[in-house]
Amino acid sequence: MEPYSPYACSPDVTIRCRDARPTASTSWPIETNVDELTDMDFVFLTLTDGTAKKAIVAALEATEIPFTDCGVGLYRVDDALAGQVRTTTSSPDHRDIARQNIPFSDGELDEYDQNVQIAEVNCLNAVMAVLKWKKLNGIYLDLDREFNSVYVLDGNTMINDTGKADADHDHT
């Protein structure tokens, strides 16, 4: 048995990142740039523009590229923040589950947009997405094979949706 390697996915996997946040002086029209994503093996989405997300998701689905959409929703209760952290993974054989859980409306202004003290919430969202990607690539065991996960902040609860009525937890 070979020793564990964190790079055990495949020697031909290339990870490319692009900062897709437009600034006041730049913008990237979806119509002319969505094709840049269609040659990737996997895509992570983190955007609130519903129209742009709909175009990107359609292009990824048409080219059978798996992807994860990440989202955070926060609200204030008295002087504390509450909310949810969501990751939804869409693969060619689970598009219907993803479509039920990916929001395509424009994100409303909420505490997320106004609160700079939430780095750990963004970090959790990123970690959840990368863990799912590693499960899909066989690095971590994936008993439930969930494709939608929601972490509820105030209850410290993780809710997973497998698309099945009941997940099988038989370890035999």
Domain CATH code at residue 123: 3.40.50.720
Q: Are 65 and 77 in contact (CB under 8 A)?
A: no
**Residue 164: which pLDDT band, with cuts at 50, 70 and 90?**
confident
How much is the pLDDT for 23? 43
- Report the predicted TM-score, pTM, of the whole model to 2 decimal places: 0.77
Report if residue 33 sits inside a domain. Answer: no
**Residue 44: which pLDDT band, with cuts at 50, 70 and 90?**
very high
User: In the chain, how many domains are there?
Assistant: 1
Report if residue 11 sits inside a domain. Answer: no
Report if residue 57 sits inside a domain. Answer: yes
Express each pLDDT in 45-104 by its tens digit.
998 888 889 999 999 999 999 999 999 999 889 989 999 999 999 999 889 889 999 999
Report the SS3 class of residue 133. helix
From CA 108, how far away is CA 76, in angstroms rounded?
A: 14
Report if residue 29 sits inside a domain. Answer: no
Report if residue 166 sits inside a domain. Answer: no
Report if residue 32 sits inside a domain. Answer: no
**Residue 38: which pLDDT band, with cuts at 50, 70 and 90?**
confident
Report if residue 30 sits inside a domain. Answer: no
Report if residue 61 sits inside a domain. Answer: yes
From CA 141, how far away is CA 159, in angstroms rounded?
A: 18
Q: Are 94 and 83 in contact (CB under 8 A)?
A: no
Express each pLDDT in 118-137 by its tens digit.
899 999 999 999 999 999 99
In which domain, by residue range, is 139 found? 41-161
